[in-house]
Copies of this chain bind each other. A is one copy, B any other.
Amino acid sequence: MVPTEDRPTGPSARSRRTDAVRNQQALLDAAAEVFVASGVDAPVRQIAARAGVGIGTIYRHFPNRADLVVAVYRHQVEACAEAGPALLAGADSPFAALSGWVDLFVDFLVTKHGLANALQSDGGGFDVLHAYFLDRLVPVCGQLLDAAADAGEIRPGTEPYELMRGIGNLCVGQDDDPGYDPRRLIALLLRGLRQPQQV
Q: Chain A interface (Cβ within 8 Å of chain B)?
A: 41, 114, 117, 120-123, 158-159, 161-163, 165-166, 169-170, 172-173, 176-177, 179-182, 184-185, 187-199
Question: Given the complex of chains A and B, what is the CA–CA distance between A198 and B197 in angstroms?
Answer: 6
Are A180 and B165 touching (Cβ within 8 A)?
Answer: yes
Q: Least Cβ distance of A129 to chain B in Å?
A: 13
How many copies the complex holds: the figure is: 2
Residues of B within 8 A of A176 (CB): 121-122
Residues of B within 8 A of A177 (CB): 121, 165
Residues of B within 8 A of A188 (CB): 158, 189, 192-193
Q: Least Cβ distance of A185 to chain B in Å?
A: 4
Question: Given the complex of chains A and B, what is the CA–CA distance between A179 and B163 in angstroms?
Answer: 11
Residues of B within 8 A of A193 (CB): 188, 192
Question: Given the complex of chains A and B, what is the CA–CA distance between A162 and B186 in angstroms?
Answer: 11
Are A192 and B190 touching (Cβ within 8 A)?
Answer: yes
18 additional A-B residue pairs with CB within 8 Å, beyond A117-B122, A158-B188 = A41-B122, A114-B122, A117-B120, A120-B173, A122-B173, A161-B179, A162-B185, A165-B180, A166-B182, A169-B182, A172-B172, A187-B192, A188-B189, A191-B191, A194-B197, A196-B197, A197-B197, A197-B198
